[in-house]
Amino acid sequence: MRRKVVKQGPATFMVSLPSKWVKKYNVQKGDEVDVEENGKSLIIYKEKETKKIKKAVINLDDFNRMLVNRFLGEFYRQGVEEIEIKFTKSTLFNHKEQRDVDVDKYITKVVERFIGMEIVSHTENKIILQNLIREDEFQKLDVVQSRIYFLMKEFLNAFIKAMDGDFKDFHDISYDYHDHVAKFIYYYHRLLYFSDIPEAKKTKLSGMIALIDKIVDNVRHCSERVVVIKNRSPKLKHHLKEIFDLFLALFEIVINKNHPLEHLRKLTRRRYEVLSNIEKEKFTEPESKAIIEVRPMLDIITEFFEDYVALNIEKYVSEV
């Protein structure tokens, strides 16, 4: 169907809504609608399709530590407003360390990962979490994305610097670096879920942040490999730095969307040079294990380039 555009005032253009659509969705005078830009198209919603989930309830009696992390993390990402946690047992089992952990203390620690989510009630057998994020905070995606980049840069730079000294001091706080990055990754997912970004771009950004989440784990695992190496060679530090620097350069093209194609071509060439240098090098077995942990950081160039295209696609859309 076609509609004629009417000019009203010096800078206001109007178009009428189809009467059939208005009746179907009971649109009344004074109602608000959501308008989403998608390339050359405008999509109008009677109300946003993404709605907040008011409340979720879980009972921890059959949970372990990993399940608690996964459930609460996904509830947070999908915008649950209130989480009611019930339990009759005072402990959770931690399979990684093969021991029980205190429920109260562990939930208190996990909540620190979720920006805006706070404990508002804590009784003997129940903990209630509530979201305190304001609506206007859902416009801070770019700010949070940049924050993740700079936290990753700080983490990786500290890693390399520590290889010249007592690496154990760094390794002891590597979990703190990891958790700080993870906190903002969770926050980004939550903001992205409610954003009005077109779905195609939202899917790409969500995938990119999920990849970075995995990379943070890879770096922490690499730290576990490096800390047990008694005589760390300069070549190990050199190659790890090359990998980390390339990763940050790839991440940066998504933060700064105005790079010329020549810059992307240079990154492609650089990636293959780093890979070739690693494959030619002779490492000890412990060194090889450390490199293997962060090797995936060289394989995500495709995803970052695709994200760059998705975020800049309007530059290449023909007006014909």
Count of all residues that appear for the chain in the document: 320
Global pTM reads 0.75
Is the pLDDT score of 42 beyond 80? no
Is the pLDDT score of 320 beyond 50? no
Q: What is the mean pLDDT of residues 129-152?
A: 84
Residue 163 pLDDT: 94
- pLDDT single digits (tens) 206-257: 999 999 999 999 999 999 999 999 889 999 999 999 999 999 999 999 888 7
Question: What distances in angstroms separate CA 142 from CA 145, 187, 313, one per listed residue?
Answer: 5, 12, 18
Residue 221 near residue 170, CB atoms below 8 Å = no
- pLDDT single digits (tens) 99-113: 999 999 999 999 998
Residue 230 near residue 70, CB atoms below 8 Å = no
Place of tokens 């206001």: 12
DSSP 25: T
Q: What is the mean pLDDT of residues 182-186?
A: 93
Residue 66 pLDDT: 93
The per-residue pLDDT of the chain, averaged, comes to 87
Closest CA to 179 of 266, 261, 111, 99: 111
Residue 260 pLDDT class (50, 70, 90 cuts): confident
Q: What is the mean pLDDT of residues 285-301?
A: 94
- pLDDT single digits (tens) 43-81: 776 655 555 678 999 999 989 999 999 999 989 888 888
Q: What is the mean pLDDT of residues 271-287?
A: 95
Residue 138 pLDDT: 64
